[in-house]
Amino acid sequence: MAELRVKGTGTIKLFENDNTSSVTIASPASLGGDRTITLPDADVTLVSGTMSTGLTAADITGQTALADVPATTDEFVISDGGTLKRIDADFVMNTPSFYAYKTAATSLANNATTILIPASVVQNDGTCYNTSDGKFTVPSGQDGLYFFFASFRISGYAGQRCQSMFFVNGSELNWTLGESVPDGSVASGSIYATIPTTAMLGLSATDYVEFRGNQGSGSTNDIFNTVFGGFKIR
């Protein structure tokens, strides 16, 4: 069994029964007064290793600059009602986010609401926007409030009713409708009008958002410079 010995040097040592190793308690060079060590009133298991000498100001006051965009798994320290807690940067970085565009023409049939699919991606953080079907899908764990924006331009604008809108899970949100109806005083083909729309949506995981357009010229017409983007607010 282990053996506790008081040494003549003023130290206390707890030896293994074979004297191969020990734990030493030694006083500093100058006590400057009595010291009391209070032991816990329950079993304590000591493990091997080096005891830290404590934190310094440099350890806790951000002496080292990050010098890069934070990764989504980097952590901030915040006060939650007076209790310090860690939070992943992912929760405060407006992610996921995306922005895509298409400059080439897209053919829109008369009075046919058509899914618009910008396929040139500028930003697709989280890879939640699908360039093959034009859907932005909320990933698992990213329920929250999102902001979306979209627009297209149409040629031969005079005499046409043009609409841009968002669909969520295949259903139209008519309150997101961006619409323009010319007054008929402009000659056909002389204006390239931009038809924008925006929306703030509360979404849950697996919800998907599409951008669709409609034109009522009486015949098939081309739209171009289509853009679609969005990001999580919180």
pTM over 0.75: no
Digit-coded pLDDT (tens) for 32-58: 777 777 877 888 776 666 666 666 666
Taken in order 90, 93, 94, 95, the sign of the CA dihedral is negative
Residue whose C-alpha is closest to residue 195's, from 147, 161, 162, 233: 162
What are the residues facing 222 on neighbouring strands? 107
Cα gap 2→73, rounded to integer Å: 46
Confidence of residue 182 (pLDDT cuts 50, 70, 90): low
Give the pLDDT confidence score for residue 79 in this predicted structure: 84
Give the pLDDT confidence score for residue 165 in this predicted structure: 94
- Topology adopted by domain 97-232: Jelly Rolls (2.60.120)
Q: At residue 196, what is the residue type?
A: P
Confidence of residue 136 (pLDDT cuts 50, 70, 90): very high
CA distances from 29 to 10, 25, 54 (A): 11, 13, 19
Digit-coded pLDDT (tens) for 4-36: 666 666 677 777 777 778 878 777 767 677 777
pLDDT top residue among 215 and 169: 169
Mean pLDDT of 174-184: 71
Residue whose C-alpha is closest to residue 211's, from 113, 103, 84, 109: 113
The number of helix segments (H) and strand segments (E) in the chain equals: 1, 18
Mean pLDDT of 192-210: 94
Confidence of residue 2 (pLDDT cuts 50, 70, 90): low
**What count of residues does the chain have?**
234
Mean pLDDT of 192-218: 92
Sequence spans of domains, the chain: 97-232
The yes-or-no verdict on residue 183 having pLDDT over 60 is no
Mean pLDDT of 57-79: 75
Confidence of residue 68 (pLDDT cuts 50, 70, 90): confident
Q: At residue 99, what is the residue type?
A: Y
Residues 229, 150 contacting (CB under 8 angstroms):
yes
Buried b (16+ CB within 10 A) or exposed e, 35-55: eeeeeeeeeeeeeeeeeeeee
pLDDT top residue among 97 and 18: 97
Structure tokens that stand for 15 in this block = 């030896």
